[in-house]
């Protein structure tokens, strides 16, 4: 467990005290959110510990028990347990941020061990939120993983890095797999209490579920009265042929339908741009982050969770514009199965300077696909800039291997110890 520390400069604290109602600040990682053994899940029962943030840790004056905070170590972010603005009970929690120079997703989180009782069922996460001077985006997120290292770190009650060492798993051989994901972004600057809800299907072999409530921007967001319940699985949504499955494909909205993947490189920008567009009034603009220790996949994506995407032929496409780009820009689709992610095809790659250019790939999803992610990205850090617009993910029909007799695509072999 990381040590408990208070962070922040006097100037930042004065600003927060003048503008925001927050009783205390917290910016170190808190205690593990679950006990070693996963409690049996009951349909309709709240699975979260301390869902209303009413109970404090025994070893701290105000930190709510059962919850963690994102350990950014930045002096511009503050976590608090609030007594003034609450939805129910006596307490709520808040996260406040003063700078986005280094992009980070600051959040409260709780991690749960789960087992077969949740497999092939839905989990529904609801929480009440209140925005106070928000500029950027806040979010609630529900994730399901097969993560052996985190599972054992919880059972052994040791840090994840120590569990990885004990398991003799190298850093490049981490078998962690993302099996379920649903996030709701919101960007209203000022709100009263609003109920937010996300829902995922839990595939077999999932052993870790994480709920997160956070901010990617500046201002303050408060959270209260969280709930995570198990429910009967919803049937998959229909998948009509030759129909775009992506929401807000031309970035005409506020960008809240898209995931932004950004390493914490200073000055990195991924944002909606209303001055450049292939069609309509906007595109997504990426640039900056000129210094970073490694080259990292950066950009936007959408994740489509639908069990009926298994054994389908898909087309991912879009338009890209580059300006003096000294790295590679490309699109890619990934199919998630219980055996790993399958990368779709060889994408066209652009760099340097190009006017709006269409890019497209077609790929087959393997049997047992639970979700597909469509990526529009580039490698950061790098100089130059680029734009994506008019993106699309379509089902073209059954996978070709069903009629040709060829072997379906397979994920790379899982790491071995």
**Looking at the predicted structure, is the pLDDT value of residue 28 above 70?**
no
Angle made by CA atoms 108, 111, 114, in degrees to the nearest 5: 155
Judged by average pLDDT, the poorest of 17-31, 40-54, 82-96, 380-394 is 17-31
- Per DSSP, what are the bridge partners of residue 341? 336
First to last CA, the chain: 26
Q: What per-residue string of b and e applies to 246-269 under the rule 16 or more CB within 10 Å gives b?
A: bebbbbbeebbbbbbebbebeebe
Q: What is the structure's pLDDT at 53?
A: 97
For the chain, where do the domains classified as CATH 2.60.120.260 start and end? 10-231, 259-404
**CA 38/CA 205 separation, integer angstroms:** 14
**Looking at the predicted structure, is the pLDDT value of residue 416 above 70?**
no
- Band (41; pLDDT cuts 50, 70, 90): low
Judged by average pLDDT, the poorest of 46-60, 250-264, 401-415 is 401-415
Q: What is the structure's pLDDT at 250?
A: 98
Is residue 289 within 8 Å of residue 271, measured between CB atoms? no
DSSP 56: B
- Band (40; pLDDT cuts 50, 70, 90): low
**CA 151/CA 213 separation, integer angstroms:** 21
Average pLDDT over residues 258-287: 95
What's the alpha-carbon Rg for the chain, to the nearest Å? 22
Which of the pair, 236 or 289, is modelled with greater confidence?
236
**Looking at the predicted structure, is the pLDDT value of residue 229 above 90?**
yes
**Looking at the predicted structure, is the pLDDT value of residue 3 above 50?**
no
Q: Which CATH code, of 3.40.50.2300, 3.40.50.1950, 1.10.520.20, 2.60.120.260, is assigned to 259-404?
A: 2.60.120.260
What are the distances in angstroms from CA 399 to CA 85, 332, 373, 407? 53, 17, 17, 11
**Looking at the predicted structure, is the pLDDT value of residue 187 above 80?**
yes
**CA 382/CA 388 separation, integer angstroms:** 17
Which tokens go with 58? 């025994």
Judged by average pLDDT, the poorest of 31-40, 63-72, 190-199, 218-227 is 31-40
What are the distances in angstroms from CA 33 to CA 112, 330, 348, 359? 7, 38, 44, 44
Helix (H) or strand (E) holding 225: strand 208-231
- Band (42; pLDDT cuts 50, 70, 90): low
**Looking at the predicted structure, is the pLDDT value of residue 15 above 80?**
no
Average pLDDT over residues 145-163: 96
Averaged pLDDT of the chain: 89
> 338-369 pLDDT, tens per residue?
999 999 988 889 999 999 999 999 999 999 99
> 312-328 pLDDT, tens per residue?
999 999 999 999 999 99
Q: What is the structure's pLDDT at 328?
A: 94
Average pLDDT over residues 302-318: 97
**CA 243/CA 307 separation, integer angstroms:** 17
- Band (5; pLDDT cuts 50, 70, 90): very low
| Torsion sign, CA atoms 211, 208, 309, 261 | positive
| CATH superfamily, domain at 10-231 | Galactose-binding domain-like (2.60.120.260)
Residue from 31, 75, 72, 28 nearest 49 by CA: 31
**CA 157/CA 164 separation, integer angstroms:** 13
What are the distances in angstroms from CA 233 to CA 118, 122, 239, 293? 10, 5, 17, 42
Q: What is the structure's pLDDT at 235?
A: 96
**Beta strand pairing call for 283-287 and 269-273:** antiparallel
**Looking at the predicted structure, is the pLDDT value of residue 13 above 90?**
no
């Amino acid at each position: 467990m990381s040590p408990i520390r208070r962070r922040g400069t006097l100037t930042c604290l004065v600003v927060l005290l003048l503008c925001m109602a927050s009783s205390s600040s917290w910016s170190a990682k808190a205690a593990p959110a679950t006990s070693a053994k996963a409690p049996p899940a009951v349909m309709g029962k709240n699975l979260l510990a301390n869902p209303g943030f009413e109970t404090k840790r025994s070893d701290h004056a105000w930190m709510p028990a059962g919850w963690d905070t994102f350990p950014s170590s930045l002096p511009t972010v503050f976590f608090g347990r609030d007594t003034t603005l609450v939805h129910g009970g006596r307490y709520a929690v808040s996260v406040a941020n003063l700078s986005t120079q280094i992009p980070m997703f600051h959040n409260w989180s709780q991690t749960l061990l789960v087992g077969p009782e949740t497999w092939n069922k839905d989990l529904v996460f609801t929480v009440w939120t209140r925005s106070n001077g928000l500029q950027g985006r806040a979010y609630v997120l529900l994730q399901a993983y097969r993560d052996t290292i985190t599972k054992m770190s919880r059972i052994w009650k040791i840090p994840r890095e120590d569990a990885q060492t004990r398991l003799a798993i190298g850093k490049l051989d981490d078998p962690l797999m993302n099996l379920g994901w649903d996030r709701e972004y919101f960007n209203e600057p000022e709100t009263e209490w609003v109920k937010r809800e996300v829902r995922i299907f839990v595939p077999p072999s999932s052993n870790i579920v994480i709920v997160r409530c956070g901010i990617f921007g500046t201002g303050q967001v408060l959270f209260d009265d969280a709930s995570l319940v198990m429910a009967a699985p919803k049937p998959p949504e229909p998948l009509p042929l030759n129909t775009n499955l992506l929401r807000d494909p031309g970035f005409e909205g506020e960008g809240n339908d898209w995931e932004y993947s950004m390493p914490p490189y200073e000055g990195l920008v991924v944002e909606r741009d209303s001055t450049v567009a292939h069609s309509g009034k906007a595109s997504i603009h990426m640039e900056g982050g000129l210094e970073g220790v490694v080259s990292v996949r950066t950009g936007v994506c959408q994740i489509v969770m639908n069990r009926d995407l298994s054994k389908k032929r898909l087309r991912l496409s879009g338009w890209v514009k580059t300006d003096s780009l000294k790295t590679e820009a490309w699109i890619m689709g990934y199919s998630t199965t219980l055996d790993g992610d399958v990368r779709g095809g060889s994408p066209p790659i652009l760099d340097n300077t190009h006017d709006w250019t269409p890019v497209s790939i077609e790929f087959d999803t393997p049997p047992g696909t639970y979700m597909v992610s469509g990526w529009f990205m580039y490698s950061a850090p790098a100089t130059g800039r680029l734009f994506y617009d008019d993106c699309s993910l379509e089902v073209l029909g059954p996978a070709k291997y069903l009629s040709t007799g060829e072997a379906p695509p397979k994920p790379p072999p899982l790491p071995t110890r």
